[in-house]
Amino acid sequence: SQTIHQWPATLVQPVGSPLSLECTVEGTSNPNLYWYRQAAGRGLQLLFYSVGIGQISSEVPQNLSASRPQDRQFILSSKKLLLSDSGFYLCAWSPQVGQAFFGQGTRLTVV
Partner 1 sequence: GESVGLHLPTLSVQEGDNSIINCAYSNSASDYFIWYKQESGKGPQFIIDIRSNMDKRQGQRVTVLLNKTVKHLSLQIAATQPGDSAVYFCARRSQGGKLIFGQGTELSVKP
Applying CB under 8 A, which residues contact partner 1?
32, 34, 36, 42-44, 46, 49, 51, 57, 59, 90, 92, 94, 96-105, 107
Residue 56 or 67 with smaller CB distance to partner 1: 56
**Helix, coil or strand: residue 83:** helix
Residue 14 or 41 with smaller CB distance to partner 1: 41
Stretch (H or E) spanning 50: strand 44-52
Backbone angles phi, psi at 86, to 5 degrees: -60, 140
8 A C-beta contact, residue 68 and residue 77: no
Q: How far is the CB of 16 from partner 1 (least distance, A)?
A: 27
What CA–CA distance (Å, rounded) separates 53 from 51? 7
Residue 55 or 70 with smaller CB distance to partner 1: 55
Q: How far is the CB of 100 from partner 1 (least distance, A)?
A: 5
What CA–CA distance (Å, rounded) separates 82 from 85? 5
Q: How far is the CB of 58 from partner 1 (least distance, A)?
A: 11
